[in-house]
Structure 1
Amino acid sequence: MSKPGPYSTQVSVPLPTDGDIRSIVGDGYDPDSVLNVVKMFAGTEDMYPALIGMVRAVFATPGIDARHREVIILRAACVLHAPYEWQANEQMARNAGLSTDEIEAISADGAVTGIADDYVLLCRAADEMYSSAASLTDSTLSALLATFGDVVTRKYIATIAWFSLLSLFLNSTRVPLETTDKIGDRTSPLG
């Protein structure tokens, strides 16, 4: 595992033009502040509302702790080797309150240890869901339920699943890494 490096491919899906993005996103579109992932989503045209709706849900739903979400995202980036996801969310994780040591632990090869138990549990859940089993063991699911309760466990499982889809989309389209500091103090790709 470990932190993903840059893409090693030569072919990518081009970002849509600013005009095409504006026609989907609306007149408030600012090419200097909108992240490349959102631009690539706009290129899906009629699928954009559903994709951006899921982003809004994952980043704004009640009960989801921003640090927990970032733990899930960073672990997904490592396990699924998603360079864009790591680059954007390493800073968002800091903005959400994760320390450098916690971020480093999340990128560990093998089982994550040495950080808060709830972070370790979320990493273990992500590892299991992203494995060839594509599911959770009874032990991990029981621990999630005991730690977070039924509703938040469902939300975390949906969040882990979403970042699998997102990693596949990012890697397969090869969304360009951000070349400017668009992240700033964000904790969400929507600003």
Structure 2
Amino acid sequence: MRLKTARIAPLADAEFGEEQKDALGPMLETGRVLNIFRTLARAPKALKAFLAWGNYVLSRRNGLSAREREIVILRTGFLCRSGYEWTQHAEIGLRSGLTEAEVERLKAGADAPGWSAADQALIRASDELHQDQFITDATWAALGEHFDDKQRMDVVFTAGQYTQVSMMLNTFGVQLDPGQTLDPDLKGF
């Protein structure tokens, strides 16, 4: 975690006004509102727009499978040194078909042994987007061996969304939710 305390405190339930309640909608019905959403609820109009785009990225409308999407999200979160993002999506990645070994191996990147060619292309694309905001011709072609144009667009959309999310989490100092433990490789960032 980059910050030991929040710069922008998450709202408590008692602080939710009508705009926050409208933006948080179904989350309030489940009784579980994560710190990221409690923090973003301080800007309810932005939160509502953010959720609309985020719902696309995390839905079946995204052409990537849940496992492929989580490879991009986790690699992006790790490169951004976002402890909160990594912690949330490590759990989601496991539910989406990644193994614990694969989640751990994502930290090492595309050249770590054991990745398929498609997985390597996703990881390389995530790395290039992080480093240069551009996918090289070689990596674009490698993605094209496994993914259609819409799926390749979704790689960019997913990496871009989770770069933004990581920027917000890191800068606002969003702290882990109760019961979560920070990955030791992300301590001190």
What is the CA-CA distance between 1:87 and the residue it aligns to?
Answer: 0.8
Q: Report whether the alignment pairs 1:83 with 2:65.
A: no
**Distance in 1 between the 2:30 and 2:11 partners?**
11
Matches within 5 A, 1:78-157: 78-108=78-108, 111-131=111-131, 133-157=132-156
The letter for the 2-side match of 1:114 is G
The letter for the 2-side match of 1:126 is S
User: What 5-or-longer segments of structure 1 have no aligned partner?
Assistant: 1-5, 182-191
User: What 5-or-longer segments of structure 2 have no aligned partner?
Assistant: 181-189
The letter for the 1-side match of 2:2 is Y
Task: Label 1:109 to 1:154 Cα distance change in 2 as closer, same or farther (>3 A).
Answer: closer
Task: Label 1:31 to 1:137 Cα distance change in 2 as closer, same or farther (>3 A).
Answer: same
Q: Decide which of 6, 9, 15 is 2:10's aligned counterpart.
A: 15
Partner in structure 2 of residue 36 of structure 1: 35
Q: Output one character per residue of 1:153-177: Cα deviation in whole Å (capped at 9) or x when no partner.
A: 1111111111111110110111110
Contact preservation (8 Å) 2:78, 2:107 = yes
| Residues paired across the two proteins, number | 175
Task: Label 1:36 to 1:173 Cα distance change in 2 as closer, same or farther (>3 A).
Answer: same
**Distance in 2 between the 1:110 and 1:93 partners?**
17
Q: Note the aligned Cα RMSD (angstroms).
A: 2.1
Partner in structure 1 of residue 185 of structure 2: none
Alignment TM-score, normalising by the size of structure 2:
0.83
Q: Decide which of 25, 32, 46 is 2:21's aligned counterpart.
A: 25
